[in-house]
Structure 1
């Protein structure tokens, strides 16, 4: 339990004790509701309290009754925002900013909170083709990169997404046709066409993105306008991109506004992937797509899945991370391409460097308290208890040597174009998660939010849960 729940439970216990001491007869009327409330808060189903499950069901019923789970875009309207994005994506808008090197990049601006999100496009190197020592260097550099986030209070969270999908079949042909010179000999042109025709039809489209979400109000000198806030974001991206290249990835550059809009468009409409790829590879790629092109015409959220233009999606979050010691390639099976389009997202929320030691010391103190409690009550220590205590001490020691502390969460979304394949796609993702020793839990009643979290839009579910909804 968190601090609030702990004090509420202690207060209820004190009230029961005081009532039993001064008015025992009142317990006949007071004890049943206390026992019922305690049961709702303490009894768990799959690790979730019954009270939380009931609250989620009630909120879902209320939202469904008010038709908050369905979206219809007005196609013929008299204003440019005909295709505004649904749900938690509604407050967002897409900006285009200059990068200072003669180019531009896309910035997703949350008009409600003022947060800004930009995306770095990267190409990771495979650890299977590298020496063990080189792979260990990449892992150590990635740990140092995450630790540096604790010294950047302006950075709220970092989202790493691996987006895979079956190749639509036209990407290779479009790339070759665009590269053919009109002055080339006809024999050479025929050879290239034959190579395209005989190329394997089964291929995968893989895209890896690192999205950085910043809060300009946390800067050392908070900017006074949106232009200054975007300038702060650009400086943060330069600092992070320069050190990210040592983590086993090649930074291609910042994603443009059209590329971000294309990612959102293909997520909502998987059948448009080939068309979007052609537009982004064309001569007018920077202006090929806008924010009004990214949103769906139709979207409907159900308890266990999410319907949208041309596809049906299912989203999960991990119940808990692996308890065992894991290797650097533990997620290889989960993020590798498969027969269905999927997005795997890891989200990192770094603790400030000044607060990291305090957080870990609390973990060590909690482990010591549990050990003392077991000795007082005569209970034996389990292997899991010993492992938790050892890990808490190890984490505290590593933080003292310069390591960072992050809250890490994982989200997964799979999309199919045929609803009949939805069960097969869900089983495929869950089986891949089992090989990574990760227990996924379907986001019942939160499918739209899970879907949006895997997009380069800066959505963070824990922050949404704490936001007051009007």
Structure 2
């Protein structure tokens, strides 16, 4: 019998955007450090008295920019902590809603979700879907409910085709200027058992054999520990202001989104996804409500199973948020749950297989949401961006050569990846910025340590380095919801 070894396809080449900087600093930080050193040299040439006056602030500036704690410059860490203290003093980290709050903001979602509203759009087939409209940013988000095909049930050739089609789908986003970013979210949670309990309760006859009834009741009791709810969502966030047609009002913007969606939606079929439909108002409301109050997941699932009529009667967008929430430096406490959110600090350095994220996305003992956010660069700007990255890498190489120092292994690998990105873009590949956010929620605060250890161990298997979003837990929590929240974009548009 003859056997042939089939080569397994691997993927890699991710790199952090560095720019024209040295020693791991950005361009502005590098200029600041050089300016501080220049000031010290000039002061020393004038007199020791002048040097004594400028030495302390110059050295402090250099230290704040050069020294790092867990990969973050001290200046950035101190700035973040100062902002946190200011926000805590002003009460920005505490939220109360409903009857516990007074004023015009008594009924609204917390934090970065406050300016959002839910719009209902009727499509061409007569159905309707929901659009999350952010009044502050002017963005509109549509969520597609999907069913993903497991790579464990497909051969390697099919998996390779799916990944290639997914890469092409992302590359095409560069030609749709109205698409701001795309978030793929895998939401998993232990099955609450309400659906199975309701199903079995209505089918057990009272006069049936006692042994059979006991077996069925035992099955209902143990099934939640052996089953899980898994939902895959693709959220497309549009910016009507970036569209070439420049819609004049909300209605025109919604009409343009309705024209753009079918093409993007149909193209996902070749990426290993089956689009089940567009999320409705009831569906999005239920997702947000159960995220903030995980203890009622079973009740909400039971109401949703009755066709949504009962759900729409008790829930709407303004009341889907928490009654009370408290943001801490390392966690977010909301109604019946306590959550911790991480963001991706470093992508896999080595080449990985297509199922590298399987362990991180797989269901666990606690509710978990993992969102991969992709921000496409316009096709016209992609070439300029990759060329600037290549020039920055060559500048660092020339600097090391001028200093008569050998190029470090990381700098060499980064330069090779920058050149590889430029070559791939030249033959039609898309370019974009990627982020990953993971949120785990527990009902019992005593289980938080186990939940954190579970997620971090899964990230290690996925070759991804996560960092907890210190002092930004509320924003990170919202980033994993289908509401169009992208923290990197909020940092540029949100008031500080």
TM range, smaller chain: over 0.9
Which residue matches 1:338? 364
* Alignment of 1:466 onto 2:495: no
Q: Structure 1 pair 14/244, CA: closer, same or farther in 2 (3 Å)?
A: same
The normalised TM-score by structure 2 is 0.87
Query: Of 179, 182, 198, which residue of structure 1 is paired with 2:219?
Result: 198
Query: Of 274, 277, 285, which residue of structure 2 is paired with 1:250?
Result: 274
Q: Structure 1 pair 5/204, CA: closer, same or farther in 2 (3 Å)?
A: same
Distance 1:116 1:192 in 2: 51
* Alignment of 1:454 onto 2:475: no
1:164-221 residue CA offsets vs partner (Å, 9 max, x unmatched) = 000001123446779x8xxx9x99xxx9998686363421000111111111011111
392-401 or 415-424: which moved more? 392-401
Query: Of 303, 306, 316, which residue of structure 1 is paired with 2:342?
Result: 316
* Deviation of the 1:14 alpha carbon: 4.5
Which residue matches 1:232? 256
Query: Of 423, 427, 431, which residue of structure 2 is paired with 1:405?
Result: 431
Q: Structure 1 pair 373/5, CA: closer, same or farther in 2 (3 Å)?
A: closer
Which residue matches 2:374? 348
Which residue matches 2:20? none
Query: Of 301, 306, 312, which residue of structure 2 is paired with 1:287?
Result: 312
Distance 2:105 2:317 in 1: 9
Query: Of 391, 394, 399, which residue of structure 2 is paired with 1:368?
Result: 394
Q: Quote the RMSD (CA, aligned, Å).
A: 2.6
Task: Please give the secondary structure, in 2, of the residue aligned with 1:117.
Answer: strand
Tell me if structure 2 keeps the 8 A contact 1:176–1:192: no
Query: Of 267, 271, 287, which residue of structure 2 is paired with 1:263?
Result: 287
Distance 1:78 1:55 in 2: 32
419-428 or 385-394: which moved more? 385-394
Task: Please give the secondary structure, in 1, of the residue aligned with 2:193.
Answer: coil
Tell me if structure 1 keeps the 8 A contact 2:36–2:62: no
* Deviation of the 1:2 alpha carbon: 3.4
Which residue matches 1:69? 93
Task: Please give the secondary structure, in 2, of the residue aligned with 1:262.
Answer: helix
Tell me if structure 1 keeps the 8 A contact 2:109–2:319: no
1:302-324 residue CA offsets vs partner (Å, 9 max, x unmatched) = 11001001010001111111111
Tell me if structure 1 keeps the 8 A contact 2:179–2:238: yes
* Alignment of 1:359 onto 2:363: no
Which residue matches 1:304? 330
* Alignment of 1:156 onto 2:180: yes
1:123-152 residue CA offsets vs partner (Å, 9 max, x unmatched) = 000111111111000000000011011111
Distance 1:88 1:299 in 2: 13
Number of residue pairs matched?
A: 463
Which residue matches 2:156? 132
Q: Structure 1 pair 133/66, CA: closer, same or farther in 2 (3 Å)?
A: same
* Alignment of 1:437 onto 2:463: yes
Tell me if structure 2 keeps the 8 A contact 1:115–1:214: yes
Query: Of 28, 45, 63, which residue of structure 2 is paired with 1:39?
Result: 63
320-329 or 279-288: which moved more? 279-288
Q: Structure 1 pair 222/129, CA: closer, same or farther in 2 (3 Å)?
A: same
* Alignment of 1:211 onto 2:232: no
* Deviation of the 1:397 alpha carbon: 1.1
Distance 2:468 2:244 in 1: 40
Which residue matches 1:241? 265
Which residue matches 2:412? 386
1:17-76 residue CA offsets vs partner (Å, 9 max, x unmatched) = 554556664222122211111111111111111111111111111111111101111327
* Deviation of the 1:11 alpha carbon: 4.1
Mapping of 1:165-176 within 5 angstroms?
A: 165-174=189-198
Task: Please give the secondary structure, in 2, of the residue aligned with 1:109.
Answer: strand
Tell me if structure 2 keeps the 8 A contact 1:83–1:294: no
Task: Please give the secondary structure, in 2, of the residue aligned with 1:139.
Answer: helix
Distance 1:2 1:196 in 2: 62
366-375 or 272-281: which moved more? 366-375
Q: Structure 1 pair 409/247, CA: closer, same or farther in 2 (3 Å)?
A: same
Tell me if structure 2 keeps the 8 A contact 1:83–1:296: no
The normalised TM-score by structure 1 is 0.92
Q: Structure 1 pair 82/26, CA: closer, same or farther in 2 (3 Å)?
A: closer
* Alignment of 1:57 onto 2:81: yes
Mark the runs of 5 or more structure 1 residues left unpaired by the alignment.
Answer: none
Query: Of 19, 25, 28, which residue of structure 2 is paired with 1:4?
Result: 28
